[in-house]
Amino acid sequence: MRTLVDWLDERLQIREIKVALFDRKIPKGVGWIYTLGSLSLGIFLLQSVTGILLAMNYSPSPQFAYESVSYITHQVTLGNIVRGLHKWGASAMVLIVTLHMIRVYFMGSYKYPRELSWVVGVFIWLIVMGFGFTGYLLPWDQKGYWATMVGTTIAEQAPLVGPALAKLLRGGDTLGTVTLTRFYAIHVLVLPALVLTLIALHLFFVVRQGISAPPERDKPDGPHA
C-alpha cells in the first residue's frame, strides 16, 4: 500500500492535496457553527444519491408521474425510505444553507478577501431555492400543481420580463405536459450542472483562502479610577 501511495504521489502529488484539504490550521474560536457549510455539502451528496435512485423509477409525464411516485413509495425496495430522505433532505438543505449564509454574514466572513466566495455562495443559495421550486411539482399532486401555479403567477408579475419568464417556466400559458418535462429537466440536468460548478469554485476559494477567524470583541479598557 505504501508503494502504491508513493507511486501515486510521484505523479499526482496526493500528499500535497491531503495537506491542503485536511491539515490546514483552524483559527482560534472556530466552533460547531462553522460546520454548517460542510453539513450543507453532506446533505447535497445525500440529495444527489437519492435523486439518482428516484430518477430510475420516475416517469416525468402527467399520465404516469403520480403513479410512478406511488410505485416508488409502496413497491420499490426501500423506496419509501429513499423518497423520504430526498423529501426531507430538500427541506433540510434549504434550512442549513440559509443558516450558513446567516452565519457568514453575521461573522463578517464575507469581507475582504472573501468577497468572491460570498458571491458564489449567494448563487448557490439561489440554486438551492430553484431545486426546491422545481422539485415540488414532480410528484404531480394537487399541492405541487397549485404551488407551482402560484409561483409562476408571482413570477409573471415581475416588471418587463415577468410574462416571458412565466411562459418560459410553464412552456405555454398553463401548466401541463411541457411544464412537468421542463421542470424535470431543470431539476435533474440544469441545476445540478450549475451547482456542481459553483460548489467546486466555492470549495477552491475556501481551501485557498482558509477559514475566516471569528470577529474579535472589543476589549474593555480596564478599571478606571
pTM of the model: 0.89
The answer to whether residues 102 and 40 touch, using CB atoms and an 8 Å cutoff, is no
Longest dimension (CA), the chain: 82
Q: What is the pLDDT of residue 225?
A: 46
The DSSP code for 186 is: I
Phi, psi of 95 (to 5 degrees): -65, -50
Cis peptide, bond prior to residue 163, ω within 30 of zero: no
Q: What is the rounded CA–CA span in Å between residue 175 and residue 65?
A: 14
Q: Where is 124: in which H helix or E strand?
A: helix 115-137
Q: What region, left, alpha or beta, does residue 171 occupy, with left being phi > 0 and alpha being psi -120 to 50 degrees?
A: left
Q: What is the pLDDT of residue 222?
A: 55
Q: In the chain, which stretches have pLDDT less than 70?
A: 217-225
Q: What is the rounded CA–CA span in Å between residue 157 and residue 161?
A: 9
Q: What is the rounded CA–CA span in Å between residue 52 and residue 173?
A: 31
Q: Which three three-digit cell numbers place residue 222? A: 480596564
Q: What is the rounded CA–CA span in Å between residue 66 and residue 70?
A: 6
Burial status of residue 208 (CB atoms within 10 A of its CB: 0-12, 13-18, 19 or more): exposed
- The C-alpha angle with vertex 189 and arms to 185 and 192, in degrees rounded to 5, equals 130
Domains identified in the chain and CATH numbers:
31-209 (1.20.810.10)
